[in-house]
Each structure stands twice: as structure tokens, then as C-alpha cells.
Amino acid sequence: MVDILHRVGVGSASVDDVYAALTSIEGLAGWWASDTKGDTNPGGVIQFRFTAGGFDMKVVDLQPGKRVLWEVVDGPEEWIGTEVVWDLKEEEGFTIILFQHRGWKEPGEFMHHCSTKWAIYLMSLKQLVETGTGAPDPHDVQISNWH
């Protein structure tokens, strides 16, 4: 199995601000997918709909100010059963996000695409928390014919 890994620092924001952007429908719609709905509580399912498709994430674990863990329960075959993990910590004036999209069966072309898109959306999250305005789908950077 292989994983997508990223590290991003969000300046001038508390770990609680980043956590809120990861655990509320308004926050998620502000940086990832404008069309987001569902239940953000443990055991709930969040539906994310994009220009190019969508994903349903089951909320597996929430540790306020520390961790958010989702399991992909619907979407592209390569995503189903994978986990998306957001570990948070404060370090030298930044909230550090250690991001993992783990459990991919193989590193195919779609995984390459998703890794780049995750980086773009992580920058959108950073922008949302730092400035109040993110760049969620459909306003994100289009990187290829897959969007």
C-alpha cells in the first residue's frame, strides 16, 4: 500500500481555526468542495461533490485541535477503503497540518493526479484560514483534463 503525504503550515491562525475548517460543512465548503453536505459528527458521512465527481467520507475519529480521520466509503474505486488523516500541532507560530491519504493499493496515474490536487486544496485550506477566502471546487486550479 502507498500513501499521499503533505505538510503545510498555516500562519496567524490557531489550531482550533484549522480544526473548525476541517470539521464543519461551512469550513469544508470554503476550501475543498463548494457542494458539501452531510453529518460531520463521528459516525456521520460527509458528501463532497466536485465538477469531476464526488466522494463520501465517513467520520471515523475527531480529536479537537489534534486529529480528523475519515474513511472513504463511496467514490472512485481507487479511493474506497482509503483513509484521509489530518494531524494538527502548533509549532513556532504556525498550525502544522500533517496530511495523509493512506491505503492506496498502487501508485497509478490517478494517484499522481490526486496528490497534486490535494496539494492545491491544502493551499486553499491555508488561504481560507489565513484570509477568510479559499478556492474550493469549482474555483480551484485546474491541472489537467481531469480537472
What does the pLDDT read at residue 147?
A: 79
Does pTM surpass 0.75?
yes
Provide the residue ranges of all domains of the chain, joining segments of one domain with +: 2-131
pLDDT class of 19 with cuts at 50, 70, 90:
very high
Q: What is the mean pLDDT of the chain?
A: 96
Strands of 94-104's sheet, edge to edge? Answer: 2-11, 94-104, 83-91, 67-74, 53-63, 45-50, 35-38
Q: What is the pLDDT of residues 32-41, one digit of tens each?
A: 999 999 999 9
Range 61-75 average pLDDT: 98
φ, ψ of residue 30 in degrees (nearest 5): -80, -15
Whether residue 17 is predicted with pLDDT greater than 90 in this model: the reply is: yes
pLDDT tens string 90-145: 999 999 999 999 999 999 999 999 999 999 999 999 999 999 999 999 999 999 88
pLDDT at 18 over 90: yes
CATH architecture of 2-131: 2-Layer Sandwich (3.30)
